[in-house]
Homo-oligomer: A and B are copies of this chain.
Amino acid sequence: MRALSMESEPIFQQDWAPRAWNLLSKLRDQSPLVQCITNFVSMDLMANTLLSAGASPAMIHSIEEIPDFTPHAHSICINVGTLSPNWLPAMKAAAKLATKLGKPWVLDPVAAGASGFRLNACLELVGMKPNVIRGNGSEIIALSKASLGVSKGVDSSHESMDAMEAAKSLAKASGAIVAVSGAVDIITDGNRVVGAHNGVPMMQKITATGCAVTALIAAFVAVDPLHALEATASALSIFGIAGELGMDMAKGPASLRMHLIDSLYGIDQAVLLSRAKITTL
């Protein structure tokens, strides 16, 4: 996380890693069905991430299918990466139905600040009560400011808003768990703030790794919907560990992508317990 400063080395709480392992084990046992309405770039990596983690992906995006299909999904992942106006109604219909049925859903506000069209779409979706929102620092800051009614560049005090402040503010305003990916991933419900310290910088050189981990969060939240903060932190830490394990074998971004997915598939209890770095900030 760019904006995060830590004054001392965090103490990694011993209860987080076993909890993360417990959730991954549940995920592998239950193989939750995760409906993804996502961008074109990420579909392959997202589906393969879910499969390698033990979940069942369903890339079904047509509004015609939502009444029949969404009730069977265990969670929904909505990602606006390659948004166009004809995809938005299905995203909203799925979000609305998920909320009505009490199913968790997760929002990835890709490039939220890239255009007025996109920002408005993200704000509409945030208003439909996602259980989790995950983005990078810029996205969460853009979304947080917009949800506070702050126009870009108008309020200098908000210009200097850092990602943690933005995440907490957005979490309070939306009721969602908000996660900010970065060197340290931040996860907050607006009050509690947790950091997931796993991952390697080269993951940013692979397209759609952010999208993929959002889908993984959806799978984790599906197996523990009542503890979305813990599920989110676990997913981020485990994806980061897969990246660390992959990095040991990688010669560049493309081999890292392969080894990351292989590692996510193969990760076992001993590795997870020794590597998971999750801490209350």
Contacts and interface: CB of A to CB of B under 8 A. Distances in A.
Interface of A: 39-41, 43-45, 47-48, 51-52, 57-62, 64-65, 67-69, 72, 81-85, 111, 114-118, 204-208, 250-255, 257-266
Contact of A258 (B43, B45, B117, B254): B254
A208 B254 contact: no
Given A44-B44, A208-B47, A254 B253 contact: no
Given A64-B115, A206-B48, A207-B48, A262 B266 contact: no
- Identical chains bound together, number: 3
A51 B253 CA distance: 9
A60 B111 contact: yes
Contacts of A65: 83, 114-115, 117-118
A252 B83 CA distance: 32
B254 A207 contact: no
Nearest to A57: B207
A45 B61 CA distance: 20
B68 A82 contact: no
A69 B115 contact: yes
Given A43-B82, A44-B44, 17 more contacts: A40-B43, A41-B59, A44-B208, A48-B253, A51-B204, A52-B205, A57-B207, A58-B111, A58-B114, A59-B82, A61-B84, A64-B117, A65-B118, A68-B116, A252-B261, A252-B266, A255-B258
A204 B57 CA distance: 12
B59 A85 contact: no
Contacts of A45: 44
Contacts of A43: 40-41, 82
A114 B67 CA distance: 10
Nearest to A204: B51
